[in-house]
Amino acid sequence: MAYDDRFMSLAIELAKKGTGAVNPNPLVGAVIVKDGRVIGEGYHKKYGGLHAEREAFASLTEDCTGAEFYVTLEPCCHYGKQPPCTQAIIEHKIAHVYVGSSDPNPLVAGQGIKELEENGILVTSGVKKEDCDRLNPVFFHYITTKTPYVVMKYAMTLDGKIATKTGKSKWISNEASRQRVQEFRHELTGIMAGIGTVLADNPLLTTRLPNGRNPIRIICDSHLNIPLESRLVQTADEIPLFVAMLDKEKYILKDKISKLKEAGAQILYLPEKEGHTDLAALMKELGARGIDGLLLEGGGVLNESMLREGLVDEMRIFVAPKVFGGVSAKTPVTGCGIDEVTEAEEFTLSELERIGNDIYARYVKRR
Ligand SMILES: NC(=O)c1ccc[n+]([C@@H]2O[C@H](COP(=O)([O-])OP(=O)(O)OC[C@H]3O[C@@H](n4cnc5c(N)ncnc54)[C@H](OP(=O)(O)O)[C@@H]3O)[C@@H](O)[C@H]2O)c1
């Protein structure tokens, strides 16, 4: 039986509703169809809650024996926080399952589909695969690497500056673009910046969206220069703040460490690499703490280190129709840079949008 694109598109839209609430689980949507009519639909709403498949069965308006089932991700076949979804599909006597993405989770990885087929259910996989895959780059990366998927974000002028020569950066992009950034902060579990940005801008790095989720804030600060009176430290008892410093300085800086801990911050002790915190080690540490995705909000020195270490998976860039000029005005990626064009990290354009007079572009790492 041929599948109907509209039902998978509906499942994708449903999946998106879980944004910011399901991490480190994937976004998943499901639709049950009988005689060309939707008779049930659901999505994974919350980490630890029912999976999309069971949400869809719970919403059924009539018997679904012999129905078709559209699901954006291969159904799970193992016991986690919830029983296997394959079981629910088999018990409900579904005739045909249309699957979008395959699940790279080693506990699933084709086993879900195999189990359905072994129980006499027809399975068609790869339905609107590209669109379904686009829902879950964070999950696909985290489940296989146990380190966060890193999204570098910045706003720059037409001449590629992220601040004026006097260090002013408010505001480069327009209000609608900045609103989009609030959505990214809601979407990703963590947000990371360098101490240079903290000293220059005194940011809060929270989500200013109604019902938005605040990301866990991570500051790369080898020598613990973060001011106790900074807005980050002042809010650390309500909104998690991790400060990553050099392990070898923990005795010299013990008084400051105590004060930061008293304020509610957590300190991450890291090995040294090229005079700074070792970023690959930091990614492992953050992954171990359940941070599956990270919004990297620079500035240029930290951005360059992350790129040079091969730790950036995606770039989201806003270009505003302004020109700042000035040799000393900061650019999005500074640091020591590379020598040869062939050494450059390469990305593929995955989205391009006009937001008022700004341009928004999204690039994913070429693997
Ligand atoms: N327009 C935008 O989208 C945007 C976004 C962010 C920032 N900005 C602007 O960028 C400027 C700040 O940028 P910045 O380049 O001076 O500072 P930065 O990148 O925010 O911070 C750099 C500092 O981070 C620390 N760090 C710790 N571990 C590191 C590592 N492994 N690699 C690199 N650095 C590490 C280093 O100091 P220690 O080693 O001493 O800790 C380094 O000096 C501000 O003017 C801000 O307004 C603009």
**In the predicted structure, residue 349 carries a pLDDT above the cut 80:** yes
Mean pLDDT in residue range 79-89: 83
pLDDT in tens, 265-294: 999 999 999 999 999 999 999 999 999 999
343 is catalytic: no
Distance 301 CA to ligand 1 centre (A): 5
Query: Would the pLDDT of 106 be above 80?
Result: no
Residue 350 host element (H or E): strand 347-355
Is the CB of residue 162 below 6 angstroms from any atom belonging to ligand 1? yes
Domains in the chain and their CATH numbers?
5-136 (3.40.140.10), 146-365 (3.40.430.10)
Residue 201 Cβ < 6 Å to ligand 1: yes
Q: Which residue has the higher pLDDT, 298 or 205?
A: 205
Residue 198 Cα to ligand 1 midpoint, Å, equals: 8
Active-site residue identified among 53, 68, 304, 314 = 53
Distances (CA, A) of 242 to 18, 186, 257, 296: 26, 18, 12, 14
Q: What is the pLDDT of residue 67?
A: 95
Across the strands, what pairs with 74? none
Write the residue with the smallest CA distance to atom 47 of ligand 1: 169
Alpha carbon 299 to chain centroid distance? 19
Q: How far apart are CA 159 and CA 330, in angstroms?
A: 11
Q: What is the pLDDT of residue 147?
A: 98
53 or 81, higher pLDDT: 53
Q: Give every strand in the sheet of 190-194, ordered side by side.
A: 266-270, 241-246, 216-220, 190-194, 293-296, 149-157, 314-320, 358-365, 347-355
Residue predicted with more confidence, 108 or 155: 155
Q: What is the pLDDT of residue 1?
A: 58
Q: Is 220 in the pocket of ligand 1 (CB under 6 A)?
A: yes
Query: pLDDT of 217-230, one tens digit each?
Result: 999 999 999 999 99
How far is the centre of ligand 1, averaged over its atoms, from the C-alpha of 270 (Å)? 17
Model pLDDT for residues 7-35, shown as the tens digit of each residue = 999 999 999 999 999 999 999 999 999 99
Q: What percent of the chain has pLDDT over 90?
A: 86
Q: How far is CA 171 from each of CA 22, 154, 206, 225, rounded to the nearest angstrom?
A: 32, 12, 17, 25
Report CA-CA distances (Å) from 167 to 1, 161, 219, 335.
Answer: 61, 10, 19, 17
Is the CB of 334 inside a 6 Å radius of any atom of ligand 1? Answer: yes
- CA dihedral (263, 206, 310, 313) positive or negative: positive
pLDDT computed for residue 4 by the predictor:
81
pLDDT digits (tens, 9 = 90+) for 118-141: 999 999 999 999 999 999 999 999
As a whole number, mean pLDDT of residues 53-76 equals: 94
Residue indicated by tokens 């790369």: 220
- Omega prior to 299 cis, within 30 of 0: yes
- With 70 as the cut, is the pLDDT of residue 46 above it? yes
Coil, helix or strand at residue 261: helix
Tell me the pLDDT tens digit for each residue of 237-254: 999 999 999 999 999 999
B/e letters for 65-79, b = 16+ CB within 10 Å, e = fewer, are eebbbbbbbbbbbee
277 ligand 1 Cβ < 6 A: yes
pLDDT at 52 over 80: yes
Ligand 1 mean position, distance from CA 172 (Å) = 17
